[in-house]
Amino acid sequence: MICPVCKYDMIVVEYQNIELDYCNNCKGVWFDSGELELLLKSQGLEEPKAFFDGILNSQEAASPEKKRNCPVCGHKMKKTTIGGQPEILIDICRDKHGLWFDGGEVAQLIRRLAGEHPPKHDSREQVISFLEEVFEAPE
C-alpha cells in the first residue's frame, strides 16, 4: 500500500495477528478496517461499523494539517480526534476503509505510555492502546 502522505511503499507490521501498514519514511500508520475489526472482536468490543459511525459523526477537527487521501479509495479523509488526554488527531475514510495516524501522532501515542493507561473497555482507547503496544519497542 502507498503512504498517503509521502507516497512511499508502506511495510506491513504484524502484532498479535493484526497487520498494520507502516511508512518507514514519515512513520505514519494505516489501520485498515479489516484489521480494526479483528482487534475490536478480539477484545469483545463494538462492531467496526459502530466504531466508524461514531467517529464519522463526531465533529471535524479544525487543523492546519493538509487533508490526506485514503490509500484505498483515494478520496479525501475526514480529520477528527479520538482519545482523551491528549487527543490524537487522525484521518478517517468516510467510506470506512480505515484510519490514518501521522508519524507525529504515533510519537504522541508512545509518549502517553509514561502516563496512565486508559480503561480497556472503550474501543477508541483500545485502538490507541494497541498502537502504543506495537510501537513501544524501539527498533
Peptide bond into 86 cis (omega under 30): yes
Supply the minimum distance, in Å, between the C-beta of residue 29 and Zn ion.
Answer: 10
Distance CA 113, CA 102 (A): 18
Shorter beta-carbon distance to Zn ion: residue 37 or 125:
37
Shorter beta-carbon distance to Zn ion: residue 84 or 104:
104
Please state the separation of Cα 8 from the chain's center in Å.
Answer: 18
Supply the minimum distance, in Å, between the C-beta of residue 81 and Zn ion.
Answer: 19
Give yes or no for a contact between 35 and 18, defined as CB atoms under 8 angstroms apart.
Answer: yes
Q: What is the 3-state secondary structure (H, E, C) of 65-119?
A: CCCCECCCCCCECEEEEECCCCCEEEEECCCCCEEEECHHHHHHHHHHCCCCCCC
Shorter beta-carbon distance to Zn ion: residue 51 or 129:
51
Give yes or no for a contact between 28 and 20, defined as CB atoms under 8 angstroms apart.
Answer: no
Shorter beta-carbon distance to Zn ion: residue 68 or 129:
68
Supply the minimum distance, in Å, between the C-beta of residue 11 and Zn ion.
Answer: 11
Supply the minimum distance, in Å, between the C-beta of residue 98 and Zn ion.
Answer: 7
| Contact positions vs Zn ion (CB under 5 A) | 3, 5-6, 8, 23, 25-26, 28, 70, 72-73, 93, 95, 97
